[in-house]
Amino acid sequence: QVQLVESGGGVVQPGGSLRLSCAASGFTFSSYGMHWVRQAPGKGLEWVAFIRYDGSNKYYADSVKGRFTISRDNSKNTLYLQMNSLRAEDTAVYYCAKEDGQQAGHGYYYYMDVWGKGTTVTVSS
């Protein structure tokens, strides 16, 4: 079945680094754009980053731009998030999500149809 499994979370000190992975299975990973979304404890969802299906373009939320890098290895069906210069406010559950879309009327509508269970990142001294 279609599945995303995140890993790599943990406890890290402020200023430290961490690399998250998201292993995909059950679909043609190389055909889909992928997102990272995070959720701080007790808070709502925050979009973090997006990478196109072939890795040609990457986009970031202002809150992580310059510190986080999204990448993918289509030969390994794996998405990554390299997180540097971590701050306390980066503490969250990090989800990877597969993007899909549908043509409807005059528009093409995107959505995140498959999500992983998340991996927890805690930034604390």
User: Nearest approach, Cβ of 123 to other proteins (angstroms)?
Assistant: 21
Smallest CA-to-CA distance from 38 within 89, 109, 74 is with 89
Burial class (CB in 10 A: 0-12, 13-18, 19+), 67: middle
Q: Which stretch binds other proteins (CB under 8 A): 7-15, 72-80, 84-92, 106-114?
A: 106-114
Based on the shown chain and the rule CB under 8 A, indicate whether residue 68 belongs to the binding site for other proteins: no
Distance separating alpha carbons of residues 51 and 99, to the nearest angstrom? 10
Select the residue interacting with other proteins from 45, 73, 89, 124 (CB under 8 A).
Answer: 45
Sequence-distant (6+) residues with CB within 8 A of 75 are none
- Give me the least distance between CB of 75 and other proteins, in Å please: 23
Binding site for other proteins (CB under 8 A): 33, 35, 37, 44-47, 50, 59, 61-62, 95, 102, 104, 107, 109-113, 115-118
